[in-house]
Amino acid sequence: MTDVAALAARVEQLEHKLGIQEDIEQIRKVQYTYGYFIDKSQYNECVDLFSEDGEVWFLGGVYKGKAGVRRLYIERFQTQFTQGHNGPRYGWLLDHPQLQMVIDVADDRKTATVRGRSMMQAGLHETAEGQQRAWWEGGLYDNRYVRENGVWKIQRLGYFPFWHGSFEDGWARTPLDFIPMATEAQLYPGDPLGPDELIEPTPRLWPATDIVPFPYPHPVTGEPIVPDNSRAREGFKD
């Protein structure tokens, strides 16, 4: 290889690495913006972050395609939390800090994975219309991204809430299966607001402690990260 050819190859390699870093920054921006949108109940804007074949994994169910994504964010969340209003309403708190994001872009720069978490503070003020409540929530994201027409979009928003706790009692006294997961009876279209299919195996909340599989290998050894969930549900009877 001539010096010129070697230099051209080196430039091409550096451009590729720089492109991946630019991808990571754009994906991080999209993911963090999702957090800001969902905090303030900007559900229309949330839907616009998804690819045409996007989907959401939430409370044991999968909402598939743009129709499923809209069903969850617009028809369910917007109706339930903000009375059909696209935006915040008085007294409604739903903070979703986006934390510990690990972003991996595929070498062809067409797809990416995002693993992260959120620790939520949520509730309804006593002077607001509705039932006053306050709770803590922690969950993990296992997301997939795709470049669609040159723009990075969410292909899968996989949110696995791990624990809930009331503000008064905390998480140590959370009842088992405090937030029930989706069931066959709740699938769409039987339930007009339900998911299209169920997640297998069915997720369980705290005090279950399952590890959601890592989408990337061990960053030092390069070996697959194999979770041992054999003791994660010992206290459950079923």
Q: What is the pLDDT of residues 133-191, one digit of tens each?
A: 899 999 999 999 999 999 999 999 999 999 998 888 888 999 998 899 999 999 999 99
Q: Is residue 66 part of a domain?
A: no
pLDDT at 9: 87
**Proportion of the chain above pLDDT 90, given as a percent:** 85
pLDDT, tens digit (0-9, with 9 covering 90-100), for 178-234: 899 999 999 999 999 999 999 999 999 999 999 999 999 999 999 999 999 999 999
What are all long-range contacts of 97-102, with beta carbons under 8 Å and residues at least 24 apart? 97/35, 98/31, 98/32, 98/34, 98/35, 101/28, 101/31, 102/216
First CA to last CA distance, the chain: 65
Amino acid at 11: V
Give the count of domains, the chain.
1
Q: What predicted TM-score, i.e. pTM, was given to this entire model? A: 0.93
- C-alpha 216/C-alpha 219 separation (Å) is 8
Structural domain contains residue 168: yes
Supply the range of the domain harboring residue 160: 3-46+85-180
For position 98, which CATH number holds? 3.10.450.50
Classify residue 41 as left (phi > 0), alpha (psi -120 to 50) or beta.
left
